[in-house]
Structure 1
Amino acid sequence: MGAGIAEVFARAGLRVIGVEADEAALSRGRGHLEGSTGRAVARGRMTAEEQAALLGRIAFTTSRDDLAGADLVVEAIPEVMEFKRGLFADLDRICKPSAVLATNTSSLSVTAIAATTSRPAQVIGMHFFNPAPVMRLVEVVRTVVTEDGLPDEIAGLARRLGKTPVTVGDRAGFVVNRLLLSYLNHACALLETGLASRDDIDAAMRLGVGLPMGPFTLLDLIGLDTSYEVCEVLFRESRERRHAPAPILRELVTAGLLGRKTGRGFHSHDRDAPETAGEPGGRPEISLVGLVGGGPDAATVLEALEAAGFKAAVAEPGDLTPVAEADVVVALSDTPVVELAVRLPRPERLVGLHLVGERVAEVAATVVTSREAAETVRDLVRMIGRTPVRCGDRAGFVVNALLYPYLNDAVRMLEAGYASAADIDAAMRLGCGYPAGPFEMLDAIGIERVRDGLRALYAEYREPSFAPAPLLDQLVTAGVPGIRAHVG
């Protein structure tokens, strides 16, 4: 990370002093820089002359005293508060009085780091994302004692570096990690409850929501130990139960299964391991499919079933008589369907179905659904060109149970004045590669639908953080159609 940040500054034409703990670390850092810029030359993004000039702007040293004349120092050491506080106390002694000291911490308190120095007003967070030369986002973290104008100055510097700055308050995790790790930890909790499997949850969020990867694949990429530590930091500040690291995360970390870097985490990353085959599917041996529900989704499913050669009967939730004799009954719903099941003469035949995006359908089995019925509906889903996601008949199923609390967290962040809606959206798009920011998603889904979904999640799980943020409730009550129009 340190080498990447040094490259970013040098690319912008600034002189850089790269300091490492010892000669071995310094050699590795120089190697990272030469490798990164060498790849840029090979791809035609930089000439050999430009590479030489860039490297010539970076001086390498193992002595912190060489920083005495620096205008800005950016720290990028491991995420251990004791180490960072010790380093900043040393930098405060070495650097000239006008120097700004910045930390690249991803989750620790900038205020606590600043308090170690005699210049807390000149200490700020400048959080780059890995790999720093590629990722466009920089979180600029102000504290309650940060000098007026300094956040704007650092944000301007970030723009000079070709980055998009987002200025935020000093809360654990800032914007990206505070929202991201809450979502990832929640996915772990849902896995532990048996709501859905690891692969089904990953598929639901990747194919259904359009995220770059599922939560468990992403956890393995980040590192389970890193994720665990960030969750600990979040929990220590918020004391919210859902920020406490999920037990399965603790168990994997304790066992040394940390993700890609150890070859195994939630997934196996052994290159020699055979690829697992997808579930076999076939044409179900049924003569009549019952379909409960109306609207565009019902029309989509009915058309696909008839195109595949299946006979279908359609019923409304108020009158299930037309589907009473169907071989399997599909209830189109984004809420639990067990109440519909018990109204049928054979409740084991009913399965919930929720279409997500263009590629996924959540297949919700109730406590009385037979295995045969659930497998039949999964095969039907494949035949209509979607990926089935198996899950329990719980509020929110998989996608909404993960997505709505994440959106609610973003609203609470906005409500607290922690960051603007535009900055939060930009942070999640640029920092995580999400197709849209949380407020863009809220407006696309509809704030009333999200509010009602959160109420259902709260009623089911009794998790306080699932209760709709007051701002969300107030906007729905006021009849505001979208949140971004209201907050500008």
Structure 2
Amino acid sequence: MGAGAGSSGGSAFSVRWGESMAGTFETVGVVGLGTMGAGIAEVFARAGLAVTGVEADPAALERGRGHLEGSTGRALARGKLTEAERAEILGRVSFTTSLEDLADADLVIEAIPEVMDYKRALFTDLDRVCKPSAVLATNTSSLSVTAIAATTTRPGRVVGMHFFNPAPVMRLVEVVRTVTTDDGLAGEVADLARRLGKTPVTVGDRAGFVVNRLLLPYLNQAAVLLENGLAGRDDIDAAMRLGAGFPMGPFALLDLIGLDTSYEICEVLFRETRDRRHAPAPILRELVTAGRLGRKSGEGFHRAEEPRSPSPHEKPSAASVAVLGEGAEEFSARLSGAGFKIVDPEGAELVLALSHTPVVERAVRLPHPDRLVGLHLVGDQVAEIASTVLTSPDAARVAHGLLRIIGRTPVPCRDRAEFVVDALLYPYLNDAVRMYESGYASIEDIDTAMKLGCGYPAGPFETLDRLGLETVRDGLRALYAEYREPSFAPAPLLDQLVTAGVRSIRDLAP
């Protein structure tokens, strides 16, 4: 779906106005000068636009001025700006506590707290103050832009313009159109974002837009797996960082975002979708209630001064090892080269079952089922160690040490469908397919948003192509069969593509 595909009555005036609007964005208002708002003001000023920053009172205004001066000062110290450039940027920003000073602004963007009542009240005031042609934009990360626009007499002139923190650094801007947005307006705002040096993606008005709608269910699901005892916090973080290639594990990222922020976004998603995966995990609610909000409070899933657990250095005590499953011959050769004796399963002190599915059925067919652990090799760094209800602690410990010797990071987990990495990765990919199937964002924009917004090495559709549609579809079926979670069922489009023998979702006719 192309940029600026929003629908409205499309009066002759609105079309003419949209066509000529690109050159009219010269004066901008930013309401709310916290870290995010001040960063947005800096972005516009860096691009040569005149900016009016508005705060509620003189003290907040001075804090906002301090944010801007501090940010540009750090850029100066790092050699990213010269003294003259910094002076020009600061000279383009004026500060006020009066909304009335926005009367001539071409665009006003708000960056106040994520409380719908606050935003609706502000937009009512902006609608009264600003000139009729002005565009009103919200920087909300997840709230309904349509509901905000409905408080104005100009819903066709209201869009979402969601920057990412820190705004001067992060390249992504989500441009959100509603059903009432004037034809062409989303495209013009996307052009403005490019003028700012940003990469825009244009999306429909759904809770969480693209990034948060895909990111938060994944993070929330990680909290559910932790709470259910599937694997430990640090092991899940390591699995997703080293196995999936994500820049941070889910719990490190939750602490960075803020557990209260994550909780609220999950609540917004759940209110719109009623999908149980969007309901905040109980452990998330508990930590927020306890005031453990992440880095901002000093502790969240992690504690600020938490001592690091020393890496275990178990020496494998098994004199003999057996390997079962697909790829057993190659893996046996690897172990043999590391000095391990490879024998038949009946006589082995440790049995490794290479598998991406639960292995307890293999275990019960052995004379010593307590000696078997499942082993899922993820990428070239991680090995998930799946313990069945029969696996002895000694067998799991020996497998842990064995994997370290051959250079793999062991991730102990329970013997459950898709273990850790795929149990978190496949539902995320499924959500991306559903998002595209619903028609409010394109494949390219979804991939771009997740790479730029989250720092992922590949977008979800690029990842689907790498893993294979059938592999992901079958993994989702296994997750659904085990957990009976409706959203784990493969998206209809994914099922149909596999059935039709289509190898890539990109092969669909445009």
Normalised TM-score (structure 1)? 0.96
- Is residue 357–residue 419 contact of structure 2 (8 Å, CA) maintained in 1? yes
Tell me what 1:276 maps to.
309
- Is residue 440–residue 484 contact of structure 1 (8 Å, CA) maintained in 2? no
Pairing 1:34-53 to 2, within 5 Å after superposition: 34-53=69-88
Task: Give per-residue Cα distances to partners, 1:224-277, cap 9 Å, x unaligned.
Answer: 00000000000000001110011000111111111111111111113xx43332
| Cα distance in structure 2, aligned partners of 1:278 and 1:300 | 28
- Is residue 39–residue 168 contact of structure 2 (8 Å, CA) maintained in 1? yes
Deviation of 1:304 after TM superposition, in Å, equals 2.5
Tell me what 1:55 maps to.
90
Deviation of 1:299 after TM superposition, in Å, equals 4.7
Q: Among residues 264, 269, 275, which one is paired with 1:234 in the alignment? A: 269
Deviation of 1:46 after TM superposition, in Å, equals 1.3
Count of aligned pairs: 475
Tell me what 2:322 maps to.
290
> Helix, strand or coil for the counterpart of 1:199?
helix
Structure 2: 5+ residue runs without aligned partners? 1-35
Task: Give per-residue Cα distances to partners, 1:344-403, cap 9 Å, x unaligned.
Answer: 011111100000111110000001001111111111111110110000000010000000
Are positions 1:468 and 2:501 aligned together? no
Q: Among residues 367, 372, 387, which one is paired with 2:409 in the alignment? A: 387
Q: Among residues 312, 315, 321, which one is paired with 2:342 in the alignment? A: 312
Identical counterparts, % of pairs: 74
Are positions 1:373 and 2:395 aligned together? yes
Normalised TM-score (structure 2)? 0.92
Letter of the 1:252 partner, please give it: L
Tell me what 2:219 maps to.
184
> Helix, strand or coil for the counterpart of 1:173?
coil
Q: Among residues 362, 372, 378, which one is paired with 1:350 in the alignment? A: 372
Tell me what 1:139 maps to.
174
Q: Among residues 351, 354, 360, which one is paired with 2:382 in the alignment? A: 360
Q: Among residues 247, 257, 260, which one is paired with 2:282 in the alignment? A: 247
Letter of the 1:84 partner, please give it: K
Are positions 1:303 and 2:330 aligned together? no
Deviation of 1:476 after TM superposition, in Å, equals 0.3
Deviation of 1:300 after TM superposition, in Å, equals 4.7
Pairing 1:140-155 to 2, within 5 Å after superposition: 140-155=175-190
Are positions 1:119 and 2:154 aligned together? yes
Letter of the 2:82 partner, please give it: T
Tell me what 1:171 maps to.
206
| Cα distance in structure 2, aligned partners of 1:408 and 1:139 | 21
Letter of the 1:91 partner, please give it: L
Task: Give per-residue Cα distances to partners, 1:72-104, cap 9 Å, x unaligned.
Answer: 000000000000000000000000011000000
> Helix, strand or coil for the counterpart of 1:324?
helix
Tell me what 2:21 maps to.
none
Q: Among residues 431, 442, 450, which one is paired with 1:428 in the alignment? A: 450
Pairing 1:410-421 to 2, within 5 Å after superposition: 410-421=432-443
| Cα distance in structure 1, aligned partners of 2:317 and 2:391 | 18
Deviation of 1:487 after TM superposition, in Å, equals 5.8
- Is residue 238–residue 249 contact of structure 2 (8 Å, CA) maintained in 1? yes
> Helix, strand or coil for the counterpart of 1:59?
strand
Letter of the 1:248 partner, please give it: I
Higher relative contact order (CA 8 A, sep 6+): 2
Letter of the 1:285 partner, please give it: S
Tell which deviates more after alignment, 381-390 or 25-34.
25-34
Deviation of 1:447 after TM superposition, in Å, equals 0.4
| Cα distance in structure 2, aligned partners of 1:45 and 1:221 | 25
Tell me what 1:6 maps to.
41
- Is residue 107–residue 233 contact of structure 1 (8 Å, CA) maintained in 2? yes
Deviation of 1:281 after TM superposition, in Å, equals 2.2
Tell which deviates more after alignment, 286-295 or 80-89.
286-295
| Cα distance in structure 1, aligned partners of 2:313 and 2:365 | 32
| Cα distance in structure 1, aligned partners of 2:176 and 2:112 | 17
Q: Among residues 493, 499, 503, which one is paired with 1:477 in the alignment? A: 499
| Cα distance in structure 1, aligned partners of 2:140 and 2:374 | 44
Tell me what 1:459 maps to.
481
Letter of the 1:306 partner, please give it: S
- Is residue 326–residue 355 contact of structure 2 (8 Å, CA) maintained in 1? no
| Cα distance in structure 1, aligned partners of 2:333 and 2:105 | 68
> Helix, strand or coil for the counterpart of 2:508?
helix
Task: Give per-residue Cα distances to partners, 1:45-87, cap 9 Å, x unaligned.
Answer: 2110011011111111111100000000000000000000000
Task: Give per-residue Cα distances to partners, 1:87-144, cap 9 Å, x unaligned.
Answer: 0000000000110000000000000000000000100000000000000000000000
- Is residue 289–residue 310 contact of structure 1 (8 Å, CA) maintained in 2? yes
| Cα distance in structure 1, aligned partners of 2:326 and 2:66 | 61
Tell me what 1:318 maps to.
none
- Is residue 314–residue 398 contact of structure 2 (8 Å, CA) maintained in 1? no
| Aligned-pair Cα RMSD in Å | 1.0
Tell me what 2:105 maps to.
70
Deviation of 1:169 after TM superposition, in Å, equals 0.4
